[in-house]
Amino acid sequence: MGLKPGSHKFIIHPNIVRQVFFLALLIIMGFVIVNELYFLIGALLGAVTLYVILMHRMKYMVIILRWNPTLAALSLMLLSFIVMIIPLAYMGKVAIDKISPVISNPELINDAFMRIHEYLLREYNIDALNQENVQKISERVIPFTQKTLGSTINVLGNIVIMYLILYFLLVNNREVEKWLRQNLPFKTKNVKTIITDFRALVYSNALGIPLVALVQGLAGLIGYWIFGVEEFVLMGILTAISSVIPIIGSLAIYLPLAVYQFVTAGTLQGIGVLLWGFLVIGSVDNIARFMIQRKLADVHPLVTLLGVMAGISLFGFVGVIFGPLLISVFFILVRIYVDEYGKVDANRPDAIT
């Protein structure tokens, strides 16, 4: 774009016009495609996550052990289904079966709160869970839970599509990596950074977080069973899910549960759940995180918190994995963008480094 000699009119070069038109066409087509296939984003993220985890094993089986690529891919897919998908599906089913009747009948929640309210008011003169406060809690918790359960059902329905995508990624892993290295619009070193950091994040979120959650959930389940919690399996699952929330963690489950046990089962059961939570579940959490996540990528607690909130809303139960992963990848891309296009010195705004 420039000035024609002897004229004050701007002239846009035809190549720029064609480029703008082409980019606009790509953006419009991309928007239409993403809009129509948005419901498959969970399947795509799941396939990419499993691909990163299984990729090295796939190469080992094909290159070193001389397995047929199709047989190797199907074997790894079956193994991942047994080890990862079935436990997640079981936990999701238990949670849905137990929570759905409660969500459809809010009076059960209100009754539980009222029993706790009457106990606190009678024994300690604490008026925290009056009808107004309970109504506010229900108005916030129930819609979020309904959305979470609905998203979880949609994700489970995409498992077949996820494994179909995973199959083609595994069988064509060389072509996939070659395409990424050649077509990502970044410097070679930044392409390597993206691939390396993304792999580390996937291991941390898809392996580290679930393992820590599983250990805490099992510890909670055992304690809840010992101290007579009726729905000890469901409470164990909820303890595992809440363990990914920074700072609060599983305290969000066993503390209210201990209060409920005080009211409904007796002082001994309430104290037992409370002490088990602080002494056993809390210790297991610290030990598990130290032993597992210190060997994986270090994800900031705030990223985990925001990721879990966004992930559960978008993907349901498995959002505890995909949410933090998405936000972490976003920050990687921001860092790559700054490296690609330069950093501005605050003292020298016109200087680009």
Residues paired with residue 352 on neighbouring β-strands, in sequence order: 344
At residue 157, the pLDDT reads 64
Question: C-alpha dihedral over 110, 116, 120, 122, to 10 degrees?
Answer: 90
Query: Does residue 316 sit in helix, strand or coil?
Result: helix
Distances (CA, A) of 148 to 151, 252, 318: 5, 18, 10
Burial label for 32, CB within 10 Å (0-12, 13-18, 19+), is: exposed
* 3-state SS record for 163-200: HHHHHHHHHCHHHHHHHHHHHCCCCHHHHHHHHHHHHH
Please tell me the pTM assigned to this model.
Answer: 0.69
At residue 20, the pLDDT reads 83
Q: 82: which 2 tokens?
A: 């047994």
Composition of the chain by helix, strand, coil, percent to 5: 80, 5, 15
More confident residue, 269 or 89: 269
Burial label for 163, CB within 10 Å (0-12, 13-18, 19+), is: buried
pLDDT category at 1 given cuts 50, 70, 90 is very low
Cα atoms in the 13 Å half-sphere on the side-chain side of 347: 0
Cβ(132)–Cβ(110) below 8 Å = no
The pLDDT tens digits for 56-65 are 899 899 999 9
How much is the mean pLDDT over the chain? 77
At residue 211, the pLDDT reads 82
At residue 346, the pLDDT reads 47
- Given a cut of 80, whether residue 258 has pLDDT beyond it is yes
The pLDDT tens digits for 310-345 are 777 776 666 777 788 888 888 888 888 777 776 555
Angle, in degrees to the nearest 10, between helices 86-104 and 131-157: 140
Q: Please give the helix or strand (H or E) that residue 352 lies within, else none.
A: strand 348-352
Which of 186, 192, 194, 182 lies closest to 340, judged by CA? 186
Tell me which of 27-41, 137-151, 185-199 is least confident.
Answer: 137-151
More confident residue, 96 or 274: 274
Query: Does residue 11 sit in helix, strand or coil?
Result: strand
At residue 222, the pLDDT reads 92
pLDDT category at 44 given cuts 50, 70, 90 is confident
